[in-house]
With several copies, the nearest count.
Chain A
Amino acid sequence: MSRLPKFGVIRFPGSCDEVDAQLACQRVGEAVILWHGDRDLQGVDAVVVPGGFSYGDYLRVGAIARFAPIMEEVADFARAGGLVLGICNGFQVLCEAGLLPGALLPNVSLRFVFRQVELDVASTDSPFTRACVAGERLSIPVKHTTGRYYAPEDQLACLESNDQVLLRYGPGQNPNGSLNDIAGVCNAGRNVFGLMPHPEHAVDPLTGPTGGMAIFESIRAHTDERNRALA
């Protein structure tokens, strides 16, 4: 028998969606809040860098949070193959930290946008999307001002050829001008994943569509498998 996955959700000054992420994680496992100033990951199976406005998004989104003490631990954890999920501001932080390729630029509209968007699962070959069916549509909300995914041409080509784009905005759904309609990418090791949409806000039928569950179910399936292998 395998134990439930344990998630750690980081709280930076200015994080807003960390409790939402914790609630979503608790639907498939156990979840604790990790304080930005600590260095202890408490033996979690997966780290969530949550959405919000760490350090007020001042200077540059994610630019300051990436230097929090806990982020050094997250970097080591990621290098050792640990699962790291960055949502919205968390995606921005992981890009700034160099744990994910590319960067996020201001929406072409230059406006904050909240919208329920349709996402195409571009690859199921990852710990974060394995529970999805190839080509499956997920309805998940976006809410950001700085979500336009950018990577230099060569890097972008290599992302595509390595199948590192896990989620794309569906036809006509791109809310921010992201290159190649990219909504979420993983690193070459496929154990670090960042996305602008908020899966943690799409897990409860009471509050809306539940397209986000697939992401958390995937992480559970992956950690189950790994824990079984270790046992």
Chain B
Amino acid sequence: MRARVLVRPKAGILDPQGQVVERALPALGFSGVRNVHVGRLIELDVEDPRQLPEMCQRLLTNPLIEDYTVESLDEGGAEVRPLGELRRESA
């Protein structure tokens, strides 16, 4: 399956990039933009989707400071299928 992992700064954790982008936009004449957050996008082909949560926990994200969701890109659509989370063996 072609999977998409969306990685975001955990709620409440400082997101300097989001702040700077939000501050920059008005100067470019874009008004009314709020709650900007910048994260990472990872897209990959996986044979066994059940491995995805552990992959995310152990390699693709840093669970201490990042949240993530996983989507399947199959059947064209981007229908959301968040998979269950594992506890990460303490970093």
A residues 69-120 near B (Cβ < 8 Å) are 95-96, 98-103, 105-110
Q: Are B20 and A102 in contact (CB under 8 A)?
A: no
Residues of B within 8 A of A35 (CB): none
Tell me whether A60 is interfacial, beta carbon within 8 Å. yes
Given A59-B38, A59-B59, A59-B60; A98-B17 close (CB under 8 Å): no
Q: How large is the interface on A (under 10, 10 to 19, 20 to 34, 35 or more residues)?
A: 20 to 34
Chain A residues near B14: list those with CB within 8 A. 105, 108, 148, 177
Q: What's the nearest-Cβ distance from chain A to residue B8, in Å?
A: 13
Instruction: Mark contacts of B1-45 with chain A using CB atoms, 8 A cut-off: 1 yes-contact digit, 0 otherwise.
Output: 000000000000110110011001001100000000010100000
Contacts of B61 in A (CB 8 A): 60
Bound together, the chains give a CA A79 to CA B18 distance in angstroms of 33
What residues of chain B lie closer than 8 Å to A177, measured between beta carbons? Answer: 14, 16
Cα A173 to Cα B40 in complex, Å, equals 30
Name which residue of chain B comes closest to A98, CB basis.
B91
Q: Say whether A63 contacts B90, CB under 8 Å.
A: no
Q: Are B62 and A96 interface neighbours, CB within 8 A?
A: yes
When the two chains form their complex, are residues B17 and A59 in contact, meaning their CB atoms are under 8 A apart? yes
Q: Which residues of A contact B78 (CB under 8 A)?
A: none
Looking at the assembled complex, report how far the CB atom of A75 sits from the nearest CB atom of chain B, in whole angstroms: 11
Size class of B's contact patch?
20 to 34
Q: At the interface, yes or no: B65 with Cβ under 8 Å from chain A? A: yes
Q: Do residues B91 and A67 form an inter-chain contact, with CB atoms below 8 A?
A: no
Q: Which residues of B have CB within 8 Å of A108?
A: 14, 16
A58 touching B62 by the CB < 8 A rule?
Answer: no
Residue of B nearest to A64 (CB): B24
Report B-chain residues with C-beta under 8 Å of the C-beta of A205.
none
Q: Which of B17, B27, B28 contacts A106 (CB 8 A)?
A: B17
Contact of B21 among A58, A100, A102, A106 (CB under 8 A): A58
What residues of chain B lie closer than 8 Å to A109, measured between beta carbons?
Answer: 16
Option from B20, B40, B62, B91 in Cβ contact (under 8 Å) with A55: B20
Q: Could you give 14 example pairs across A and B, Cβ below 8 Å?
A: A58-B38, A59-B38, A63-B59, A67-B28, A67-B59, A103-B62, A105-B13, A106-B17, A107-B16, A110-B16, A110-B20, A148-B14, A150-B13, A151-B64
Known contacts A58-B38, A59-B38; 9 further A-B pairs (Cβ under 8 A): A55-B24, A59-B21, A64-B59, A96-B62, A102-B91, A103-B62, A106-B16, A109-B16, A110-B16
